[in-house]
């Protein structure tokens, strides 16, 4: 009886009669992460787009604050911010002494920050686009698992002023202003944004009697000049300055937020970067896009290794570890694309060809208590790629996509321990896909794609010579999806299923060394597992029930396991789940417009437990977080009272196991975790002109 009543209620709710009077269509979303801009519902990729409205509603300061909105996307902290991201269970989790090659690309205004996730601050960002699955044709070696693309707001011919300020718990305060408009009307447009974000952080240090040892002090400056040179040529210059001076002191013996370190660490980044882009419609047949980018970043990552102070225990040790890196990234890319009159094969096929070259130079200085002198190294890489893609209309509804990218990767490594390694590899990937546009509202697609990732070097002299290098990794990914609009555009549904095989899977491991004083040290290194398998489902729903009520939800299901792998201890872990790959993730929420000025929002987001590492069996706990906000809007002003993790749920964003660090219990093996953001409530005020 209850089921019949529920069914009747649902049927009434879904009926056109119930919705006809006040339902409006959802706004269309244009994404730019592929070669050509397109509406998200017409883009045959599993992709999530998060716009500036969602960023502002959540008072999100950094990419880590919104990633739970995307299915099958995880993150790894181990610092003041999450520097590393995982898509469908694939991605790096940390970096210490050895250089790394990323599996998830992070692109900000055409500048590659794939090794520096702290750069993903969000003020004046117009959209965040998260592409799941290998993007071998578009992004190459940096996008084995996918890519995250951030686009800042563009200047227009209208004067635009945005002001925003936030006050929240833990002495959190931020203020930002962005101004855009014409410098020369219809010719030269500009925009500049300045934002600072400060917080004491969520840790207290009882030994130093401080509550700001994990503080955040982040300044972002963005500028954008757009020159409308002619009707056919547009030149854009983006400049980004970052000054991130954050503390890092989070690990404790009891996994609390109360530390006892006598030497708190630092997680900082100083960056100056620019990209220069020209888009030129040479004719009605041909378009040229060129991008030049450069970035220089100085980074410090340091921490108190013993997590305590001298005098804590009779069997104590005292150690501090500091990594100072200087990174220079330079790239140039040219793409020739067909315009409407440039289609080939009897006007049926759009085409593009491109060239890409990048140099990435990294210098490291490590200062460590147990080293007689600083360890230094240089790691220089060059990537040269040729790529192309054909979009062939087989019928008026069926399109074949064929893409190929060939890349030459060269790396040179030298360090102060007289280790010198040079490596050179040829890599290739691409995509074959079929899209079927059944009608204006239904797109079905399937694709077979090949992603790749370069091999590299392990740099610690205590490793066996056989462990000094690791091989390239390839991933074959088969997926199918359907994107749909229903109820005259008021309901949007997206569904993707995927199956991926990883060959020579790169696995992060570590060698445990026990010192004479019984304290322990890890030597991180990468090795290759024989095979891995990643499969799952991603589903998203967005429903504008009527003009006052919206519902949205997504879920990611993932099974990421090793097919064949013996871990460094010689144990066969075939069939075990891969690290940072929860079996499920979800987010569900609602938005209600109350009267003329008020809007209430709430959502719950969560994920299953997952292994912290491939080396040990320590796991996170599953969790669900509740977030909510209520906003009052009057003309150009908005006042937003918001809260994240309202029930103050404890959850871990990084974890280590199978080692001991506490002299008080004889250094027995334990699991240590870094806790995520606790409950935080704040008030944001914004003004738009």
Mean pLDDT of 659-681: 91
Higher pLDDT, 227 or 5: 227
Q: In what side-by-side order are the strands of the sheet with 125-132? A: 46-51, 125-132, 146-152, 104-108, 111-112
Q: What is the largest CA-CA distance in the chain?
A: 83
Mean pLDDT of 295-300: 96
Distance between CA 282 and CA 279 in Å, rounded? 9
Give me the mean pLDDT over the 407-429 stretch: 90
CA angle centred on 468, ends 466 and 472, rounded to 5°: 100
DSSP string of 602-642?
EEEEEE---BS-SSS--BPPPEEEEEEEEEEEETTEEEEEE
Report which DSSP code applies to 369: T
**Average pLDDT in the 47-56 region?**
93
Highest mean pLDDT among 339-353, 612-626, 656-670: 339-353
What per-residue confidence (pLDDT) applies to 224?
97
pLDDT above 70: residue 437: yes
pLDDT at 464 over 90: no
- Is pLDDT larger for residue 510 or for residue 298? 298
| Per-residue pLDDT, 656 | 87
Mean per-residue pLDDT for 322-342?
Answer: 96
Q: Is the pLDDT of residue 10 over 80?
A: no
Cβ within 8 Å of residue 224, ≥6 positions away: 109, 152, 153, 154, 155, 180, 190, 191, 192, 236, 237, 238, 239
What is the average pLDDT across 405-413?
93
Q: What are phi and psi of 629, to 5 degrees?
A: -155, 155
- pLDDT score recorded for residue 520: 67
The residues facing 192 across adjacent strands are: 179, 223
Identify the pLDDT of residue 634: 92
Q: Residue 625 has what pLDDT?
A: 97
Distance from C-alpha of 361 to C-alpha of 380, rounded to nearest angstrom: 4
Radius of gyration of the chain (CA): 25
How many degrees, rounded to 5, is the angle at CA 146 between CA 142 and CA 151?
A: 90
The Cα 26–Cα 545 span in angstroms is: 10
- Identify which of 110, 609, 48 has the alpha carbon closest to the alpha carbon of residue 331: 110
Is 202 a residue whose pLDDT tops 90? yes
Query: pLDDT tens-digit profile of 137-160?
Result: 999 888 999 999 999 999 999 999
Helix (H, G, I), strand (E, B) or coil at 666: coil
Which band of pLDDT confidence, cut at 50, 70 and 90, is reported for residue 85? very high
Strands (E), 369-415: 375-393, 398-415
The whole-angstrom separation of Cα 28 and Cα 35 is 19
- Please say if the pLDDT value at position 580 is more than 80: yes
- Please give the Cα distance from 416 to 84 (Å, whole number): 27
Nearest-CA neighbor of 674 among 250, 333, 355?
A: 250
Q: Which of the two residues, 323 and 530, has the higher pLDDT score?
A: 323
Q: What is the distance between the alpha carbons of residues 128 and 34, in angstroms, rounded to a whole number?
A: 13
pLDDT band at 569 (very low <50, low <70, confident <90, very high): low
Q: Residue 571: its pLDDT value, please?
A: 67
Over 70: is that where the pLDDT of 7 sits? no
604 close to 642: Cβ distance less than 8 angstroms: no
pLDDT band at 1 (very low <50, low <70, confident <90, very high): very low
pLDDT at 95 over 80: yes
First to last CA, the chain: 55
Burial 273-298 (b: 16+ CB within 10 A, else e): bbbbbbbbbeeeeebebbbbbbbebe
Predicted confidence at residue 570, as pLDDT, reads 66
pLDDT at site 32: 87
Q: What is the pLDDT of residue 19?
A: 35
Distance CA 527, CA 512 (A): 15
Average pLDDT rounded to a whole number, residues 355-370? 95
Mean of pLDDT values over 377-400: 96
Q: Is 489 a residue whose pLDDT tops 80? A: yes
Question: pLDDT tier at 519 (50, 70, 90 boundaries)?
Answer: low
Contact 77, 65 (CB under 8 A): no
pLDDT band at 518 (very low <50, low <70, confident <90, very high): low
Tell me the average pLDDT across 658-673: 88
Distance of CA 117 to the CA centre of its chain: 7
Mean pLDDT, the chain, integer: 90
Classified as helix, coil or strand, 99 is coil
pLDDT at res. 189: 97
pLDDT grade for 6, boundaries at 50, 70 and 90:
very low
The Cα 24–Cα 440 span in angstroms is 17
Whole-number pLDDT of residue 18: 35
């Amino acid at each position: 009886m209850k089921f019949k009543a529920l069914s009747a209620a649902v049927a009434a709710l879904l009926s056109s009669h119930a919705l006809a009077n006040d339902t409006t269509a959802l706004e269309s979303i244009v994404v730019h992460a592929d070669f050509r801009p397109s509406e998200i519902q017409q883009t045959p990729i599993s992709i999530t787009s998060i716009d500036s409205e969602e960023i502002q509603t959540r008072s999100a300061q950094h990419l880590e604050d919104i990633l739970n909105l995307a299915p099958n996307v995880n993150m790894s902290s181990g610092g003041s911010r999450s520097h590393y991201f995982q898509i469908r269970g694939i991605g790096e989790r940390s970096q210490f002494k050895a250089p790394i090659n990323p599996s998830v690309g992070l692109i900000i205004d055409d500048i590659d920050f794939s090794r520096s996730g702290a750069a993903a601050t969000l003020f004046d960002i117009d959209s965040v686009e998260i592409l799941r699955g290998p993007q071998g044709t578009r992004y190459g070696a940096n996008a084995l698992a996918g890519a995250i693309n951030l686009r800042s707001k563009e200047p227009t011919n209208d004067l635009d002023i945005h002001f925003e300020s936030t006050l929240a718990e833990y002495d959190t305060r931020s203020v930002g202003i962005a101004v855009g408009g014409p410098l020369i009307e219809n010719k030269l447009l500009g925009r500049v944004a300045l934002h600072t974000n400060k917080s004491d952080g969520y840790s207290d240090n009882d030994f130093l009697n401080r509550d700001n040892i994990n503080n955040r002090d982040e300044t972002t400056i963005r500028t954008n000049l757009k020159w409308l040179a002619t009707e056919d040529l547009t030149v854009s210059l983006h400049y980004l300055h970052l000054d991130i001076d954050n503390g890092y002191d989070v690990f404790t013996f009891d996994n609390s937020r109360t530390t006892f370190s006598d030497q708190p660490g630092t997680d900082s980044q100083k960056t100056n970067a620019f990209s220069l882009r020209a888009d030129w419609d040479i004719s009605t047949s041909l378009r040229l896009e060129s991008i030049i980018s450069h970035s220089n970043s100085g980074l410090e990552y340091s921490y108190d290794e013993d997590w305590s102070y001298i005098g804590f225990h009779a069997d104590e040790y005292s150690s501090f570890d500091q990594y100072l890196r200087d990174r220079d990234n330079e790239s140039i890319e040219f793409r020739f694309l067909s315009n409407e009159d440039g289609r080939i094969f009897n006007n049926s096929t759009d085409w593009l060809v491109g060239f890409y070259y990048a140099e990435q130079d990294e210098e490291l200085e490590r200062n460590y208590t147990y080293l007689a002198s600083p360890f230094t190294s240089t790691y220089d890489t060059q990537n040269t790629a040729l790529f192309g893609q054909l979009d062939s209309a087989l019928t008026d509804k069926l399109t074949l996509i064929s893409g190929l990218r060939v890349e030459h990767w060269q790396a040179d490594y030298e360090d102060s321990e007289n280790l010198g390694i040079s490596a050179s590899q040829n890599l290739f990937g691409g995509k074959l896909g079929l899209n079927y546009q059944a009608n204006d509202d239904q797109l079905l697609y399937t694709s077979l794609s090949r992603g790749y990732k370069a091999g590299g070097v392990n740099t610690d002299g205590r490793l066996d010579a056989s462990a000094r290098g690791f091989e390239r990794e390839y991933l074959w990914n088969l997926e199918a999806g359907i994107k749909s609009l229903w109820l005259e555009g008021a309901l949007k549904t997206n569904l993707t299923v995927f199956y991926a095989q990883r060959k020579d899977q790169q696995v992060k491991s570590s060698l445990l060394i026990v010192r004479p004083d019984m304290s322990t040290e890890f030597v991180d290194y990468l090795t290759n597992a024989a095979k891995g398998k990643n499969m799952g489902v991603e589903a998203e729903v967005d429903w504008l029930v009527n003009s006052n009520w919206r519902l949205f939800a997504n879920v990611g299901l993932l099974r990421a396991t090793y097919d064949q792998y013996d871990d460094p201890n010689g144990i066969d872990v075939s069939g075990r789940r891969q690290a940072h790959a929860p079996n499920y993730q979800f987010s569900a929420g609602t938005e209600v417009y109350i009267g003329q000025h008020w809007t209430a929002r709430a959502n719950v987001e969560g994920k299953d437990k997952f292994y912290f590492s491939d080396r040990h069996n320590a796991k996170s706990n599953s969790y669900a977080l509740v977030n909510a906000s209520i906003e009052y809007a009057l003309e150009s002003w908005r006042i937003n009272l918001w809260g994240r993790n309202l029930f103050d749920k404890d959850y871990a964003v990084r974890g280590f196991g199978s080692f001991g660090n506490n002299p008080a219990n004889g250094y027995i093996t334990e699991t240590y975790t870094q806790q995520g953001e606790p409950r935080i409530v704040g008030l944001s005020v914004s003004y738009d002109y």
